[in-house]
Amino acid sequence: MTQQWIDLRSDTVTRPTEAMRRAMAAAQVGDDVYGEDPTVNRLEQMAADMLGTEAAVLATSGTQSNLMGLLSHCQRGDEYIVGQQAHTYRFEGGGAAVFGSIQPQPLDFEADGTLDLGKVAAAVKPADFHFARTRLLCLENTQAGKVLPLAYMDAAADFARNHGLGMHLDGARLFNAAVKLAVDPARIACNFDTVSICLSKGLGAPVGSLLCGTRAHVARARRWRKLLGGGMRQAGILAAAGIYALEHHVQRLAQDHENAALLAEGLAKIAELDIDMATVQTNMVFAAMDPAQVKAFQQHMRDRGILVGGRGIYRLVTHLDVTARDIDRVIRAAEKFFNGG
Ligand SMILES: *Cc1c(COP(=O)(O)O)cnc(C)c1O
State the CATH number of the domain containing residue 240.
Answer: 3.40.640.10
The alpha carbon of 335 and the centre of ligand 1 are apart by a number of angstroms equal to 32
Q: Does the C-beta of 61 come closer than 6 Å to ligand 1?
A: yes
In a domain, 3, yes or no: no
> What is the Å distance from ligand 1's center to 341 Cα?
38
Pick from 93, 101, 100: nearest CA to 63: 93
Are residue 118 and residue 54 in the same domain, yes or no?
yes
Indicate whether 241 belongs to any domain. yes
Do 102 and 185 reside in the same domain of the chain? Answer: yes
Gap from CA of 14 to ligand 1 centroid (Å) = 14
Do 300 and 177 lie in a common domain? Answer: no
pLDDT digits (tens, 9 = 90+) for 75-129: 999 999 999 999 999 999 999 999 999 999 999 999 999 999 999 999 999 999 9
By most ligand atoms within 8 Å of CB, the mutation choice from 170, 200, 203 for ligand 1 is 170
The residue type found at 59 is A
The reply to whether ligand 1 has any atom less than 6 angstroms from the CB of 140 is: yes
CB-based burial, 303-335: b 16+ in 10 Å, e otherwise: eeebebebeeebbbbbbbbbeeebbeebbebbe
Same-domain pairing of 274 and 159: no
Average pLDDT score over residue span 297-325: 92
The answer, yes or no, to whether any atom of ligand 1 lies below 6 A from the CB of 144, is: no
Query: How far apart are the CA of 297 and the centre of ligand 1, in A?
Result: 27
Number of domains in the chain: 2
Is position 65 within any domain?
Answer: yes
- φ, ψ (nearest 5 deg) of residue 175: -70, -30
Q: Are 99 and 105 in contact (CB under 8 A)?
A: no
Mean pLDDT (the chain, rounded): 96
Higher pLDDT, 158 or 341: 158
How many whole angstroms from 171 Cα to the centroid of ligand 1?
A: 9
Does residue 231 belong to any structural domain of this protein?
A: yes
- Of 90, 139, 201, 284, the residue with max ligand 1 atoms within 8 A of its CB, to mutate for a pocket test, comes to 201
User: What share of the chain has pLDDT > 90, as a percent?
Assistant: 94
How many H-runs (helices) and E-runs (strands) does the chain carry? 14, 11
For residues 196 and 103, state if they share a domain: yes
Regarding whether 201 and 82 lie in a shared domain, the answer is yes
Considering 224, 248, 272, which residue would you say is the last residue of a domain? 248
Looking up residue 300, the CATH number of its domain turns out to be 3.90.1150.10
Domain that holds residue 171: 31-248
| Domain end point (choices 187, 221, 248) | 248
